[in-house]
Every structure is written in structure tokens, then in C-alpha cells.
Amino acid sequence: MAESAERSGQRRLRPAPLIFEPAEASADPEHFFDLESLEDPRELLSRATELTLAFRAATDRAIEFQAIAAAQLADPRRFDRLTVADVAERAQWTEDYARKMIEFGRGLIRTDGRSAED
């Protein structure tokens, strides 16, 4: 529960927006959001930290959308509902993890996407 509260606190932060890189820059394996060009270690740490927070926030949000989609696909009211095994296969999860994600998604749907701490 403490982890959930910690994550929800992180979610409230507005991390630096991710800037999409041009195709030619992303083709260079040494290029990563222009961090390699920063010479000042303070600036590098600051920007790298902003990116880390942005990626964590994006990951948390994407997981919530996965859970909601899994819950919707497994909804027993749907004539075309999927079994837990089917959801697990589609998402490349174990059945146990799929079951937990479906339940998490149902909780998010019930609370309209808000966590209990909000």
C-alpha cells in the first residue's frame, strides 16, 4: 500500500515532457534525448532525472491502461469476453498476473481511474 501511495505521489508530479527525437538521431545508438551532448554534470543529472521521472510516470499510466483493457476484455457481460488465459496470452503475461491485472483494472473502472488515495 505504501508503494501505491508513493506511486500516486509521483503521478501528481508533472515531469518534463518527452521530446520525440528525429529518426536520424534515434538511429544513432549513442544518441539519447541529446543527453550525450550535455557537458555540465549538474545539467546532465537534472535532465536525466527529468527523463527518468517522465518514463516512470508514462510506465505507470500505460500499466493502468493495460489493466483497464484487460478488465474490459474479460468482462463477463461481454458476449465476446476473453478468458484469463486468453488475456494472458495476448498480453504475454502469466495467467496469475493477468488475473491480478484484470482485478486491478476492474478497480480502476469502478473508481473512474482514481486511486483510493486521491
19-42 pLDDT, tens per residue?
555 555 556 666 788 888 888 999
- Alpha-helical runs (H) found in the chain: 2-12, 23-27, 41-73, 84-91, 95-110
The structure's pTM equals 0.66
Place of cell 493502468: 64
- Going by pLDDT thresholds of 50, 70 and 90, the confidence category of residue 2 is very low
> pLDDT tens digits, residue range 52-78?
999 999 999 999 999 999 999 999 999
